[in-house]
A and B are shown apart, each in its own frame.
Chain A
Amino acid sequence: MNINATLIGQTIAFGLFVWFCKRYVWPPMVNAMQERQTQIADGLAAAEKGQQAQDVAEKEAAQMLSEAKSQAAEIVANAEKRGNAVVEEAKTTAGSEKERIIASAQTEIDQDVHSAREELRSQVSSIAVAAASKIVDKEIDEKTHASLLDDLVKQLKAG
């Protein structure tokens, strides 16, 4: 409990320790701590930036997706329209073709009918002559009775 030179010794030691702390301990520690604080701040800022970039990218992706969807819908609609048009066209083509075929068949038939009729007529005159000659039992000169025969053919034609 005596006050003695320990007092002075402790004061000197105190001064030395404070000096030592200020000179050798404080700067490296505080610098390192500040360096780490900067690093952490940078890291957080980078993370935030990344987050923002991700948000933007997500928005873009969503927009692109919706665009693609509408495009696809458009394409499908177009394709449907086109398909319908093709079907319609095919239908009309088929219709006209059908009519054409029917028409040509009709003309053919008409021609056949006509030619058959002509043949029949020409045959009718000879048959008629043969029948008449048989009936009158005598030869009829075709040349002398030509006018009579023509008259008959005309009547047949008209009939």
Chain B
Amino acid sequence: MASTEGALTGTGYINHHLTNLTFGRFPEGHWGFAHGAEEAASMGFMAIHVDSMAWSLGLGIIMFLIFRSIAKGFSVDKPSKVQCAVESLFEMAQDSKDGTFTKQAENLWIAPMALTIFVWVFFMNLMDLIPVDWLPTAAALLNGESWSSISAHGAQTYMKVVPSTDVNIALGTALGVFLMIIYYSLKMKGPIGFTKELTLQPFGPYLVPFNLLLELVALLAKPLSLGLRLFGNMYAGELIFILIAMMYSAGLGLGVLGGFAQLGWAIFHILVITLQAYIFMMLTIVYLSQAHEAH
């Protein structure tokens, strides 16, 4: 909460929900956790969102634990339901890759990467469906705050549980994709081929600077659109969940209405989070297939 002493306000509530638990270097030079959004902003780049990173890594680890346990207990004759679900995920990743890539551009990394992206992003988005106050309140209680203090003034501990609503997480994943685009462009076309692609089209060799400008914008737009699309969708969805949650403190009538609104929005969001994960995966495959092909 921005104002540590005041009563719980709507603005404070929203700000609390949208502020990450930030660990970083203060302008004065020492390291520590930020107390509030302003302090976090003052740290600049030398800070890390502990909550986003922890949830992101934790969800990724959970994903791999599930995959490993399925792979170990793989039953040829009697597949369990979870195994069937995981298998269809693997097949979806493989099919998406096979459908986009041309046959000669064989790359064994693409399908595993597509699977990782889809499931990981889906898991991160899935955190959106957990009611917005549960985990932050639990974190505040674990941090030693009392229940009465939390309900009177709002929680003081920052805990943002949906990693994909953190622009760093969304853009960081997209940056990983971007590095792969650069790597495979250089590997498949060679430095000269890649440079030619960036400079000699679309307008031929006489307009090299203009071509370079266009192509660089197109190249940089790929990770930006990838990351910001995910971030924007998830951030907006999360914000609406927070606004709906505020209705609970506004009397019985609005509270009941809020309950229905939250249910409806959550059901709709099941679609959104799956779609966003799928779009992220498909666009990654498309970008990488473009990186593999000479124009």
- By a beta-carbon cutoff of 8 Å, the part of chain A in contact with chain B is 1-11, 13-15, 17-18, 20-22, 24-26, 28-30, 32-33, 35-36, 39
Q: Are B176 and A15 in contact (CB under 8 A)?
A: yes
Given known A-B contacts A10-B172, A10-B173, A28 and B113 have beta carbons under 8 A apart: no
A29 contacts B74, CB within 8 Å?
Answer: yes
Q: Is the CB of A11 within 8 A of B64?
A: no
B35-54 near A? 1/0 per residue, CB < 8 Å = 00000110111111100110
Closest to A23 in B: B112
A7 to B166: give the CA distance in the assembly, Å: 9
B86 within 8 A of A: yes
**Which residues on B sit within 8 Å (CB–CB) of A4?**
22, 24, 43-49, 168
- Interface-located stretch among B65-73, B151-159, B198-206: B65-73
Q: Does B142 make an interface contact (CB < 8 A)?
A: no
A9 partner residues in chain B, CB cutoff 8 A? 48, 53, 168, 172
B94 to chain A, nearest CB (A): 8
Tell me the B residues contacting A by CB distance below 8 Å. 18, 20, 22, 24, 40-41, 43-49, 52-53, 56-57, 60, 64, 67-68, 70-72, 74, 76, 86-87, 90-91, 94, 108-109, 111-113, 115-116, 120, 166-169, 171-173, 175-177, 179
Chain B neighbourhood of A15, CB < 8 A: 176, 179
Using known A-B contacts A9-B53, A10-B53, determine if residue A26 contacts B115 with beta carbons closer than 8 Å. yes
B147 to chain A, nearest CB (A): 29
Min Cβ gap B113→A in Å is 5
Known: A5-B24, A29-B74, A33-B87. A13 touches B57 (CB 8 A): yes
Tell me which residues across on chain B come within 8 A of A3, comparing CB atoms.
45, 167-168, 171
Cα–Cα distance between A30 and B48 once the two chains are bound (Å): 36
> Which A-chain residue is minimally distant from B76 (CB atoms)?
A36
A30 to B24 Cα, complex, angstroms: 42
Q: Which residues in B have their C-beta under 8 angstroms from that of A7?
A: 168, 171-172, 175
| Across-interface contacts of B57 in A (CB, < 8 A) | 13
Cβ–Cβ contact B76 & A35, under 8 A: yes
Task: Pick the residue among A14, A17, A28, A35 that contacts B64 (CB under 8 A).
Answer: A17
What residues of chain A lie closer than 8 Å to B172, measured between beta carbons? 6-11, 13-14
